[in-house]
Structure 1
């Protein structure tokens, strides 16, 4: 009877090694599965949700990588240029400019800024940069730039309000309520506005407005305000009378209010007094033009009259003595006889 003998089978050692490896793999799988199961139990997501998150991260990374490669190749710039060309061909470019809210300032200055954007396509128009350029204009307090498709650019302007005139180095400049300079003006255009002078007066405009609000009845009468020594105000009224106020915000406001009450009772404005000095808290000093000369002339006249009276008295005494001498001589002669 024939017997078949197979060769190449596993030996005892190889079989033992394979069995040991299999046991290790099984144990590792069990341990890894237990670890993953533990992690999954702690994560507040289901397995499906976690799968979606991982897929989203993978796709997002791929998109970022693709964008980086495209940027390095210049594709976004090319796409932007093609989009702009397409918009220009379809009429989406700046052809008209509409300016709103301009009443006092020169409107041409706005057009000079905006016309630099003319014939540019709407998608590439830098609205924020144009607004910043408009804010550099002295009269513009705020501005809003908007597109009105397909071809119109609309500019809404909020102007500054002229509040006073600053006199400096022989020139007149319009300023607003914050002291911001607007433009140079002639004396004719400055007529009727409050004129400020003195070093640093433009920075004190808000304080001056607050001061004049303390006496609203006097405010229309104030023609000029001079900032003296960076510490106090001299007010000149339309009657050309000058009021010197003390230092300090509260002290000057109290003095101005006191002056307003005195003027309401005694009509100081329009009178003979040329200047009022209220720098002292106890009293007010008033200066009347020519009064010192008048007092000097009166004193001189009184002194002259007294001298003339004394001279006349002396002359009368001498005349009396002279007239009495012949009479005495006649009497003495008669006595001798």
Structure 2
């Protein structure tokens, strides 16, 4: 015969035999649920702990020098495998805009040994090395298709030859050095400047040289005097002493005076224009002696004339 559950019969039940289940969570479960609702706790569980584990394992792995060396070798091998591919190799060097002597200087100055991967070329450093060369005004460095390293340079234009105690240098119009010479004959037809501070006043010197074009056939060069002013040096041991201020205007006055009175064709050693409005002509030693002789004769003639009277 089937037994009937006492709960359905209305009879009292035995609490030890059957205990009711409480649907509410336990205290531990409640605390865990509240903790899980905290954003910081969820972030720590989802991100912090995995990240910490990864960092710990990575630190443990790379703490071995052998593993580090292996990783470096693998990385360098992978990079080299890409950089040294044939399509990235530079095998030819082309130099444009440079003279033969400058081309030789460029090849000696550049620390490159072709063929070489273009990834191993420092274009900025190469350009700096080119611009540091005295004859180079500007430079362009780039790699062209076909593995050609193109160096396009702009040379400085020689303007004057500067003579100083240590030798002779060729300068451009700004006073920058272009080359060093062993003798003045190597300067060719370049105008000559000399004296302390002459190299720092090349633009003014070129202005004076251009103004002296009417006597260009007699022009030797310019001499800087006391690092303050210029002397125009001419053949025949003649000079035109220019003032410190407005030297070009003073030179124009000297040329006008020469055109009117042919001063430079006479036995004059220096045309001194340092005092505004008061040009002074300094005669050569023979001319001064001749002038003194004539003056003595004139005085003697006057004395004889007075004696006869």
Q: State how far apart, in whole Å, the 2-side matches of 1:93 and 1:156 are.
A: 20
Unaligned runs of 5+ in 2: 1-8, 40-57, 63-67
DSSP 3-state at the match of 1:106:
helix
Distance 1:179 1:216 in 2: 20
Tell me, yes or no, if the aligned pair for 2:212 and 2:251 is still in contact at 8 Å: no
Pairing of 1:250-261 with structure 2 (within 5 A): 251-261=246-256
State the distance in 2 between where 1:307 and 1:176 align: 63
CA contact (8 A) 1:239 1:270 kept: no
Alpha-carbon shift at residue 158 of structure 1 (Å)? 0.4
Count of aligned pairs between the two proteins: 262
Query: Whose helix fraction is larger, Structure 1's or Structure 2's?
Result: 1
In the alignment, structure 1 residue 205 sits paired with structure 2 residue 217: no
2-side partners of 1:240 and 1:193: how far apart?
Answer: 20
Residues 28-50 of structure 1, C-alpha deviation per residue, up to 9 Å, x if partnerless? Answer: x9xx9xxxxxxxxxxxxxxxxxx
- In structure 2, what is the Cα distance between the partners aligned to 1:219 and 1:158? 33
Deviation at 1:100, TM superposition (A): 0.8
Q: CA 1:216/1:77 → structure 2, altered by over 3 Å: closer, same or farther?
A: farther
2:80 maps to what in 1?
A: 81
Gaps (5+ residues) in structure 1?
Answer: 33-65, 314-337
Equivalent residue number for residue 54 of structure 2: none
Question: 2:233 aligns to what?
Answer: 236
Query: What does residue 328 of structure 1 align with?
Result: none
| Whole-angstrom CA distance in 2 between matches of 1:104 and 1:176 | 19
Report matched runs for 1:1-337 at 5 Å: 1=9, 2-4=11-13, 7-8=19-20, 10=22, 73-74=71-72, 76-85=75-84, 87=85, 90=86, 92-103=88-99, 105-114=101-110, 116-169=112-165, 171-185=167-181, 186-212=183-209, 215=211, 217-218=213-214, 220=216, 222-238=219-235, 240-248=237-245, 251-289=246-284, 290-302=286-298
SS at 1:134's partner residue?
A: helix
What is the CA distance between 1:76 and its match in structure 2? 4.6
CA distance in 2 between partners of 1:175 and 1:291 (Å): 39
Q: Residue 56 of structure 1 aligns with which residue? A: none
CA pair 283-105 structure 1, distance change in 2 beyond 3 A: farther
Cα drift, residue 92 of structure 1 = 4.1
Query: For 1:76-98, what per-residue CA distance to the aligned partner results, in whole angstroms no more than 9, with x for missing partners?
Result: 5333222233x2xx264333211
Alpha-carbon distance between aligned partners in 2 of 1:298 and 1:267, rounded to the nearest angstrom: 22
Alignment correspondent of 1:324: none
Post-superposition Cα deviations, 1:81-126, rounded to whole Å, max 9, x if no partner, equal 22233x2xx2643332111111374321112234733232222222
2:268 match: secondary structure? coil
State which structure, 1 or 2, has the greater radius of gyration over its C-alpha atoms. Answer: 1
TM-score, normalised with respect to structure 1:
0.64
